[in-house]
Amino acid sequence: MRYWLGGLLLVAAMLAAAFGYHWLASDPGYVLLRLGQTSYESTAVVAFVLLVVLWALIGVLWRLGRWPLRLWFRRVRRKSRERLANGLVALAEGRYLRAEKELARATQYRELRAPAMLATARAALALGETARAEAALDEAAQTAPAAALALRARLRRERGESAEAFRLLAAEAKTTSLAPSAWVEYIEAALATGEGDAALAALAPLARGQALSASTFDALETRVLAAALAQQRSADGLNALWASLSRGQRRVPEALAAYATRMAQLGQPLPGMSEIEAHLRKDWSDVAVLAYAGLQGADTGARLRQAEGWLKPHPNSVALLTALGRLCVAGKLWGKAREYLERALAISETAANWEALGDCHSGEGSHDTAEQCYRNALRLHRGEASEALPGQGLPRLGLDTKAVVVEERSEHGVPRLPDLSR
């Protein structure tokens, strides 16, 4: 089909050329150009060809005249890019004075001025030159206002001025015109200043931008949900916020724990208990189990019986054993608490179960042992090794023959390997 179309076009062009030739041959036209006492006569065809040749000659001369200027601009562009690259490398290396020097030279090329000034602001702030950093951001804002605003907020937040950063972005946040990095800074500033509701409202425009990876956004969303729920001042407001969340958000363990804990603090522990129990029937969560054990004002006996029912499907869960120990401590069942907590410690030491064991010994009146437990909790928190309690040297040497990890089997009776990380 393409060959037929090309052939037809070629035939049409040949016919047009033939008719044009006969038309020009019969009347080639007449052109008279008079300059002073001199006259120039020619046919229209020759005049047209001369005009085309003159136009082409002018174009060639124009390009030749611009050639040195283009070479100079190309050199400036190349040198500016090299200086920008050197400045960014120096900034990453911590050579801030050199970075400022290189970046200042990179601003000679207009297209590189904004990134150079943004990097200059970071270098100036690292040197403690706040005024110079603000001046660099003001200049960068002329060509890249969104990036300059986001970096200005970030620098203020890094200086500990989260309230200033929040106020700086609040006006633009109302119009939902912030850049993705500015939305992140707005959320971080809101969390730092206790504005959980503002941070929660900012999640939607940030999600629409799809600027963060799924894991990064999920981690940020988890923090925001927990903060927004924990900062509610009334049970009605908390219930309204909880009801407004999506099903997926209500399944986030940290959000569930924050809701249940805050409801208990507001004097209504039952809704939080029910939510955690319903969640744990479907999805196991160490965070939710520990929050369940810490609910204020809830029936300790009922929670203990419920938690002991979870022990059969999760016999090696350190979080569950710690939660059982805490519930037993709350119910003053000291012997039972020690059994659960020592078993949890034998599986995996955590600061939480050492602290709970300290509470147990303190309740029994063994204050020296309790102090040792608290010291071990602090040691683990600092990343140091714990010390054996008095009279427990042999078990820590591995001579205790009592089984600690219980064998778990699937619904088909196949043994499962224990997950000791829980």
CATH number of the domain within which 378 lies? 1.25.40
So what's the pLDDT on residue 224?
96
164-188 b/e (C-beta count within 10 Å ≥ 16 → b)? bbbebbeebbeeeebbbbbbbbbbb
So what's the pLDDT on residue 47?
72
- Residues in the chain, pLDDT under 50: 393-403, 420-422
**Within a domain: 337:** yes
| The domain boundary residue, chosen from 80, 109, 143 | 143
Q: Which class for 30: exposed (0-12), middle (13-18), buried (19 or more C-beta within 10 A)? A: exposed
- Three-state DSSP at 179 gives coil
Give the Å distances, CA to CA, from 394 to 8, 326, 372, 401.
Answer: 101, 26, 17, 11
Q: Angle 300-310/269-282 helices, nearest 10 degrees? A: 0
So what's the pLDDT on residue 27?
66
So what's the pLDDT on residue 421?
47
Instruction: Show the domain range for 127.
Output: 70-143
**Within a domain: 362:** yes
**Within a domain: 217:** no
**Within a domain: 250:** no
**Within a domain: 154:** no
- Three-state DSSP at 339 gives helix
**Within a domain: 84:** yes
**Within a domain: 204:** no
| The domain boundary residue, chosen from 127, 143, 159 | 143
**Within a domain: 119:** yes
- Report the DSSP beta bridge partners of residue 134: none
Number of structural domains (the chain) is: 2
Longest CA pairwise span in the chain (Å): 127
Task: Give pTM, 2 decimals.
Answer: 0.74
So what's the pLDDT on residue 17?
65
So what's the pLDDT on residue 37?
76
| The domain boundary residue, chosen from 143, 161, 192 | 143
